[in-house]
Amino acid sequence: MRNLIFILKRYYNFFIFLLLEIICLSIFLRNNRYQQSSWVNSSRSISGALFTQKQQLFGFFSLRAVNDSLVRENARLKQQLGIPQIPNHLKDTSYTSTTVRDSVKQTTHYRYIPCKVLNNSVDLKYNFLTLNAGYKQGIRKNFAVICDKGIVGRITHVSENYSVAASLLSDKFVVSAMVGDGTVGKLYWDGDNPNLVTLSGIPQSVKVKQKDSVLTSGFGIFPENILIGRAAEKSKNGTTYKVWLSHDFRKLHYVYVIEDITQIERILLEDSTQSE
């Protein structure tokens, strides 16, 4: 309190001058319409600029929440739409699960579980991703992992609230892939460039051009027709190709874990044939 009184006494003349300036300015603006309108317009411009900066600042801090909600909404829409499957023109026996919601039929082939990538490696022999979802969120071992641009890996370990996925960029991780005419080969990472994988087993009679799409064949955990990458170059033997991946594994932040609704039924059936 003493300091406040001391400041007021010391700067008494300045405060009196400032008060008189404010009074004069208010009288001047009140009695002159042109200056009054100019002052109002100027104050509105300043306040508008300040509010814009404030909204941009709050918008920046809310981007993460908005992004999370968009990922969840995208997963819900993907689940409703399903993944397009090429029909068998002889007899279409592909499984579909049809539900009726609001009098509209919806076909669901897979269930999508959105996850955030907590940890990711690309420079090891066996690379893994840690995800922020586990048993409670419905994730199980051997579920496929994809992103919005292509395939990512396979779930290998699951806890209550977290899971670990083996990356496509891992030794002995083999994916069944196909080229444009439907020819199927094996795709794997050679441990060198994290942006390139190898496609082998394509006959020399099959013409694969540079930038041709390489897709999942549907033989395995990944749904059919998911983009893996594009053909880069052909080897000397004519049956092996380098493939540019459709996305950069070093920039993965969000992924989808896919539950194949018919996977258990298919595995049981395949196991029963081996036991005979």
Structural domain for 224, as ranges: 110-276
Whole-model pTM? 0.64
Q: What is the pLDDT of residue 214?
A: 93
Q: What is the pLDDT of residue 48?
A: 52
Domain annotation covers residue 216: yes
CATH number at residue 195: 2.40.10.340
- 9, pLDDT greater than 60: yes
Domain annotation covers residue 171: yes
Q: What is the pLDDT of residue 215?
A: 93
Picking from 149, 234, 153, 250, the residue whose alpha carbon sits closest to that of residue 199 is: 234
Better pLDDT: 153 or 211: 153
- 136, pLDDT greater than 80: yes
- Say which range, 65-69, 147-151, 181-185, 215-219, has the weakest mean pLDDT: 65-69
Domain annotation covers residue 17: no
Token pair 């190898």 is found at 198
**Tell me: the pLDDT tens digits for 23-52?**
776 776 566 665 555 555 555 556 555 655
- 171, pLDDT greater than 90: no
Picking from 114, 117, 111, the residue whose alpha carbon sits closest to that of residue 68 is: 114
Domain annotation covers residue 207: yes
Domain annotation covers residue 59: no
Q: What is the pLDDT of residue 232?
A: 87
Domain annotation covers residue 70: no
Q: What is the pLDDT of residue 8?
A: 66
When mean pLDDT is compared over 9-23, 57-71, 87-101, 136-150, the highest value belongs to 136-150
- 176, pLDDT greater than 90: yes
| Cβ pair 115, 255 in contact under 8 A | yes
End-to-end CA distance of the chain: 95
- 56, pLDDT greater than 90: no
**pLDDT above 90 as % of the chain:** 23
Domain annotation covers residue 116: yes
Q: What total number of domains does the chain contain? A: 1
Q: What is the pLDDT of residue 13?
A: 76
Cross-strand bridge partners of residue 252: none
Average pLDDT over residues 201-213: 86
Q: What is the DSSP string of 164-211?
A: EEEEEEETT--EEEE-TT--EEEEE--SS-TTEEEEE---TTS---TT
Domain annotation covers residue 130: yes
